[in-house]
């Protein structure tokens, strides 16, 4: 999820970073599985060697964990679909030449948006829309929209203007320039946006339990309420593993679905 807090001057970063034989993007694909492996080993060790009391055993009931995992992924999937469907078109619209000059303001406002507590946002949506997975999906989509939209704008802005000028000079219309130059060149950024959205949503879905939306957060919460550190730990590691898995898959997709030459 390296794109969430991307600093604005990324154009130069990219150029310079390619000088190193290893890029952090590539190392991501190593560090993430390594951390995941460590967590997995910890999980297995704790699970095997600690003695569970009855309460802990009930919290960690495998069929219950499976249901929570399913709820978590379900919520994350739909909120990601919404984010991508909304953030990327808006990003494209506000970066058009003809669009009102709002994007700079938008980018800095969206930067401030990072400070919105996701916790508070979910609760406010609950007050507004009531209990259930739909509320969670909408709340998560709203939260993840900000960073993804910001990345889309920054990513499209990053496309070399001389390439766009060249397209203009060859007589391409605005739509043609968008379809044949800007979007293909922005594919890596858009992929990064989708990855970001997925990882944020998988992670935030842990908070769904707060408003009766289920998810693995239930296990952590039960551990907290009933003071069972082992259960808390196992729940937290499971959540982390799911997030790392999705981040890793996102990284792979970003790497292999990228158009050649970009």
Partner 1 sequence: MDGIVNWWDYLSSRWDLVGATLMETIIYVVTVTVSAGVLAIVTGILTRNRPFAKEMSLAIASVFLTIPSLALFTIFIPLVGLGFAPSFIALFLYAILPILRNTVTGLDSVDPSVLESARGMGLTKSQVLLQVQLPLAWPVMLAGIRVAALLTVGISAIATLVAGGGLGDFIKSGLARLPLPNSLEAIWTGVILSLALAFTIDVLLRLLGRVTTPAGVR
Residues at the site binding partner 1, with contacts judged by CB under 8 A: 1-2, 4-5, 7-10, 12-13, 16-17, 19-24, 26-28, 30-32, 35, 111-112, 114-121, 123-124, 126-127, 199, 202-204, 206-207, 210-211, 217, 220-221, 223-224, 229-230, 232-233, 235-237, 239-240, 243-244, 247
Could you say which DSSP state residue 212 is in? Answer: T
CB of 207 to partner 1, least distance (A): 6
Q: How many CB atoms lie within 10 A of CB 224?
A: 13
Q: How many CB atoms lie within 10 A of CB 12?
A: 8
Q: How many CB atoms lie within 10 A of CB 189?
A: 25
Phi and psi at 95, nearest 5°, equal: -95, 0
CB of 89 to partner 1, least distance (A): 26
CB of 126 to partner 1, least distance (A): 8
Q: How many CB atoms lie within 10 A of CB 184?
A: 14
- Please identify, using beta-carbon distances, which residue of 4 and 186 lies nearer to partner 1: 4
Q: Which of 76, 73, 69, 74 is nearest to 201 (CA)?
A: 76
Place of tokens 């990219």: 14
CB of 113 to partner 1, least distance (A): 9
CB of 34 to partner 1, least distance (A): 9
- Please identify, using beta-carbon distances, which residue of 132 and 184 lies nearer to partner 1: 132
Angstrom distance (rounded) from CA 27 to CA 98: 40
- Please identify, using beta-carbon distances, which residue of 186 and 204 lies nearer to partner 1: 204
Could you say which DSSP state residue 214 is in? Answer: -
- Please identify, using beta-carbon distances, which residue of 178 and 205 lies nearer to partner 1: 205
Q: What is the token pair recorded at 27? A: 């190392």
CB of 92 to partner 1, least distance (A): 25
- Please identify, using beta-carbon distances, which residue of 66 and 224 lies nearer to partner 1: 224
In the chain, where does DSSP find H-type helix? 10-17, 24-49, 54-59, 62-94, 103-112, 118-129, 133-157, 161-169, 174-177, 183-204, 217-225, 229-256
- Please identify, using beta-carbon distances, which residue of 152 and 201 lies nearer to partner 1: 201
């Amino acid at each position: 999820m390296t794109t969430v807090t991307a600093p604005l001057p990324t154009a130069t970063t990219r150029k310079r970073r390619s000088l190193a034989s290893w890029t952090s993007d590539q190392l991501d694909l190593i560090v993430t599985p390594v951390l995941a492996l460590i967590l997995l080993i910890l999980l297995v060790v704790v699970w095997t060697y600690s003695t569970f009391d009855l309460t802990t055993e009930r919290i960690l009931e495998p069929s219950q964990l499976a249901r929570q995992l399913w709820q978590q992924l379900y919520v994350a999937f739909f909120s990601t679909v919404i984010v991508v469907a909304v953030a990327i078109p808006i990003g494209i619209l506000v970066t058009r030449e003809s669009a009102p000059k709002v994007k700079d303001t938008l980018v800095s406002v969206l930067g401030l948006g990072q400070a919105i507590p996701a916790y508070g946002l979910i609760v406010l949506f609950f007050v507004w829309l009531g209990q259930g997975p739909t509320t969670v999906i909408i709340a998560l989509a709203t939260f993840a929209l900000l960073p993804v939209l910001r990345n889309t704008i920054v990513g499209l802005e990053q496309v070399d203007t001389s390439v766009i000028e060249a397209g203009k000079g060859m007589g391409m219309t605005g739509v043609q320039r968008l379809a044949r130059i800007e979007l293909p060149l922005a594919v890596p950024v858009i992929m990064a946006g989708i990855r970001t959205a997925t990882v944020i949503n998988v992670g935030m879905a842990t908070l769904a339990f707060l408003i009766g939306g289920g998810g693995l957060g239930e296990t952590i919460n039960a551990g907290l309420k009933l003071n069972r550190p082992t259960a808390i730990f196992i729940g937290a590691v499971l959540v982390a593993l799911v997030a790392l898995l999705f981040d890793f898959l996102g990284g792979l997709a970003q790497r292999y679905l990228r158009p050649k030459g970009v």
